[in-house]
Amino acid sequence: MPRPTDAPVLRTLTPRDWPLWRETRLAALTGSPEAFRTDLADWHAGGETRWRARLDDPTALALVALLADRPAGLAGGLLAPDGVPELRSLWVAPAARGHGLATRLIAAVEEWARRTGAPEIRPAVRTENTPALALYRRLGYRRTGDRPGEHLMTRPLGLR
């Protein structure tokens, strides 16, 4: 169990980190299935090839937060077909919640998005995920639309 003084480490993943990506993603899908569009069964097919492929996109970002060398969170960034960066798959393990880790993960994805030169970033948040909606609102995101089961949000990427 992590000590309160342990500081989380954010790690950018590469294809060779696929076992860590798999472990963390499966923990997220198992522990918080309501937060994601995909479910656990969707990720059991494909094996190593599929796990590596998700990390092999040079225009994307995959982050894992480690606390006491154990996965404690994840977040990703992908460019949408229209070129706008999307914040994806934000998750923090229950034992690591309440200490600002989600905010750190979001900030890291926002920094990646700034480097793309895009003027904004957007997440899609499950409509029933009220804690995530509240977090994004607190961080300056605003709701800009809806699609089935999700609220679309955006935030300008101006300098902080």
How would you list the strands of the sheet with 61-67, edge to edge? 9-12, 61-67, 70-79, 85-92, 120-126, 150-156, 142-147
- What was the pLDDT predicted at 89? 87
- What was the pLDDT predicted at 36? 62
Which residues of the chain fall short of a pLDDT of 50?
A: 1-2, 4, 160
Q: Which of 65, 103, 61 is nearest to 79 (CA)?
A: 61
Contact 18, 60 (CB under 8 A): no
Tokens of 54: 């998700």
Which pTM value belongs to this model?
0.87
Q: Which of 91, 65, 63 is nearest to 77 (CA)?
A: 63
- What was the pLDDT predicted at 120? 96
**Separation CA 7–CA 67 (nearest Å):** 7
- What was the pLDDT predicted at 37? 62
Distance of CA 57 to the CA centre of its chain: 15
Tokens of 100: 């600002």
- The partner residues of 59 in beta bridges, in order of sequence, read none
- What was the pLDDT predicted at 60? 94
Q: Which of 150, 155, 69 is nearest to 106 (CA)?
A: 155
